[in-house]
Amino acid sequence: MCTSGQHSHSDPIAVDIDDTADTSVAPSRELIEELVAANQILFDQGVVDAFGHISVRHDKRPDHFFLARNMAPSRVTTEDIIEFTLDGEAVNANGRKVYLERFIHSEIYRARPDVVSVVHSHSHSIVPLSVVKGVRLKAIFHMAGFVGQGAPVFEIREAGGDATDLLISNNTLGKALAKHFDGHDIVLMRGHGSTVVGISIKQAVYRAVYAELNARYQLQAMQLGEVTFLTEGESQACVQNVEGQVQRPWDMWLEQARARRN
């Protein structure tokens, strides 16, 4: 159970919590290793920096998920992974600080039983598209059909008022964000970043990387003139055909990330 509903000024995005009495079931080692690899890839691809996080649903307990302790993604190892319930309660934190925004993950898993992995980031090209009225992130090329014809933007003021720190720091805000994933696999967060979901770690990582690229291309194209976006039919066809190839970029990205670490 959380020891405090507030976060400290000295460490504003981390919190100390007591472990819940809920029991743990060991996940497959491959799942945890893949989650660690995903953290490294997302950093290497510039989707996350010192901030941002990726989680995965427990492969043996769908009402639990795994997320690293509060730390920079590039430094995550298997020893840093913590198990959580869908209430955002830690099962085995053992005194380690956890991400304040774990409620992004817990409430999406609760609302979307089909989701297996969640990525939250503050990638550079996404943020501008979250704050300009009348402009939406839309699928602009075939690698990002999942973006669709207009990614919704979560406005935290509607759920938390006009004096929040923009962080999803409790279940109420997490639930409000999760509602935007009805029919969407990416949601922008005004002045904050974005959250992407997938049916696997590899798909979620693929989408996080190509959402950032799509945003970059869209910003560049908008400076040149009127932009031609993908139609709904084109977007759906691209999702069906292109996303079946997620293993190809995953293998390359992982090789690159590990080479740079050595």
Measured CA to CA, the distance from residue 199 to residue 204 in angstroms comes to 7
| Residue 84, C-beta contacts closer than 8 angstroms, at least 6 positions apart | 64, 65, 66, 67, 90, 91, 98, 102, 105, 106
Neighbouring CB atoms inside 10 A of 58's CB total 22
Which residues, given as ranges, of the chain have pLDDT below 50?
1-10
| Ramachandran sector of residue 70 (left: φ over 0; alpha: ψ -120 to 50; beta: rest) | beta
Nearest residue to 150 via CA among 167, 165, 134, 172: 134
Residue type at 163 in one-letter notation: A
Measured CA to CA, the distance from residue 103 to residue 9 in angstroms comes to 20
| HSE-up of residue 12 (Cα within 13 Å, Cβ side) | 7
Q: What is the dihedral of CA 218, 219, 224, 230, to 10 degrees?
A: 10
Q: What is the pLDDT of residue 13?
A: 63
Q: What is the pLDDT of residue 20?
A: 65
Measured CA to CA, the distance from residue 81 to residue 63 in angstroms comes to 17
Contact 229, 241 (CB under 8 A): no
> The tokens of 15 are what?
């919190």
Domains of the chain from N-terminus onward: 14-244 (3.40.225.10)
Q: Give the model confidence (pLDDT) of 65-84 as tens digits.
A: 999 999 999 999 999 999 99
Strands (E) located in 123-216: 153-154, 186-189, 193-198
C-alpha to C-alpha distances, 65 to 37, 90, 108, 168, 172, nearest whole angstrom = 16, 10, 11, 17, 19
Could you list the active site residues? 101
pTM for this model (two decimals): 0.91
Q: In whole angstroms, what separates CA 113 from the centre of its chain?
A: 16
